[in-house]
Structure formats: C-alpha cells, structure tokens
C-alpha cells in the first residue's frame, strides 16, 4: 500500500512544488527536498540545457504556501483512507430481526417463542408443532363439532367465520405463547395468550366480534380489558353481536 502512497507524494511534488516563478522554474532533475511536504531546494546554477536569452535563473523555495500544505495533507489523508478501506473493509453489521417480539406480559413467565402454528381447529383453538393443542385464554368462540375421526358434524352460529378469521391470523405463522396461571385445561390443551408480531390475538377476536369473553379462574389476568373489548363489539354490532341475536 505504501508504494501507492509514495507515488502519490511524487505526483503532488511535481504538481504543487515545481511552480513557475517570475524569473524561471526549478528543472525536475534538480529537485532536492528536506521533506516531501514543506521544503523544496533547487540548484542555484543555470540549467545547462538552456542557451542564450532563454537561460532562466532558478529560485530557491523554502516553504510552501500554508493553504497548499493543507490541501496536500487533505488529499493524502483521503487517499490513505481510501486504500485502507479497500484493503481492510469494515465488517457489515447485520441485524437479524425477531419474528415475534416478546410482549411485556411475558416477562418473568414461561413463554414459548418462535412456535409455528400447524393448523387452526376453530376460532379459539390451534395446533402447534409437536401436535400440541393450544386453547386461547379468556375467550370463547362459536364451536365447530367434530366426531372421533375429526369429521365436522355441526357448528354454532358464526363458527365458520370465527374459524376463518383465526386461520387468517395465525395459521402457518410464528407466534408467541404467554402463560397465565394454569398450564393446561381438563382436556390436556395448553392455555395461552397468543401474539402474532404485535397483535394480541385473544383481544382482537373479542373486540371484532369473533368471540365472547369467558373467565375461568385463576386465568383472569386480562378479564377487565376483555370486558371493555366485548362492550365495544356489542356497541358496534360486530360479528356474533350482529349475526347471532
């Protein structure tokens, strides 16, 4: 790299230091310098290559103009920086975003992050990796009945709409599961609050009329908030409150 720097310095010497004066110039072959940046000395003898009236008196230059020195320093610094950046490029910082942010309510509790939803069973129940069924805490959507083989045998009012909305929200996606107090219900399904990115799915389904509130102690952390959400859905005549009077 320093070879390039030396070449650059020599070019600068030629461009900036061999400057014609009123009486003559310093021939390139006679340049002597104490420093490549500040002092340039020419031989006081006449240039033997010149004859007669064309002979020029050589000047002795002791210091370069201050502005010229600044310009040269800036140029050399910029070139060195450029060469260093090419030979030693800075590592690219990569930022890997988290697909599912950990909600505040998850702190200090048992949370399952980065869990993928395999299928949606109905408006408030899903199946995740490992064939684990998850029941949403605090809500109850219209039921879709199935027999022992999994075949659909019937459904309540607005059950299909709730199922499709839940499917649109979570199926095939990465979700965050947040525990309240109890881990499972009597059917062996794990009980959780569900988040997709920053969307609180349990609350979304209530406030948009796809589910009603269902408080089962001791899992009542968001009961008061869900009551407010349900009131909003009723007042706006949404979903169940419109179709299933």
The residues assigned a catalytic role are 135, 143, 189
Q: Give CA separation, 220 vs 142, 162, 181, 208, in Å.
A: 20, 22, 9, 20
Distances from the Cα of 144 to the Cα of 135, 157, 206, 208, angstroms = 14, 9, 18, 19
- The neighbour count for residue 245, using CB atoms within 10 Å, is 7
The token pair at 7 is 């070449």
Give CA–CA dist 193/215, Å, rounded: 13
State phi, psi for 17 to the nearest 5 degrees. -100, -25
Strand 132-136 versus strand 125-128 pairing type: antiparallel
Give the strand pairing for 132-136 and 190-196: parallel
Q: Determine the 3-state secondary structure of 113 from DSSP.
A: strand
Q: Answer whether 205's CB lies under 8 Å from 168's CB.
A: no
- Coil, strand or helix: which one is 203? helix
């Amino acid at each position: 790299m320093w070879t390039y720097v030396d070449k650059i310095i020599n070019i600068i010497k030629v461009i900036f230091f061999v400057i014609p004066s009123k009486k003559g110039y310093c021939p390139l072959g006679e340049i002597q310098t104490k420093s490549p940046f500040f002092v340039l000395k020419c031989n006081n003898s006449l240039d033997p290559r010149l004859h007669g009236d064309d002979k020029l008196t050589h000047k002795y230059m002791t210091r370069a103009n201050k502005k010229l020195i600044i310009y040269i320093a800036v140029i050399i610094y910029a070139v060195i920086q450029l060469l260093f950046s090419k030979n030693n490029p800075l590592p690219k910082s990569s930022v890997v975003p988290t697909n599912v942010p950990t909600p505040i309510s998850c702190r200090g509790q048992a949370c399952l992050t980065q869990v993928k939803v395999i299928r949606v069973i109905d408006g408030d129940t899903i199946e995740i990796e490992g064939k684990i069924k998850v029941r949403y805490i605090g809500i109850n959507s219209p039921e879709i009945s199935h027999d022992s083989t999994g075949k659909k045998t019937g459904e309540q009012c607005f059950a299909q709409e709730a199922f499709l909305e839940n499917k649109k929200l979570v199926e095939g996606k990465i979700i965050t599961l947040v525990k309240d107090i109890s881990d499972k219900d009597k059917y062996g399904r794990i009980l959780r609050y569900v988040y997709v990115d920053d969307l609180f799915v349990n609350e979304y389904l209530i406030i948009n009329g796809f589910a009603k509130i269902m408080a089962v102690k001791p899992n009542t952390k968001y009961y008061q908030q869900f009551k407010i959400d349900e009131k909003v859905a009723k007042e706006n005549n949404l979903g169940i409150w419109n179709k299933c009077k």
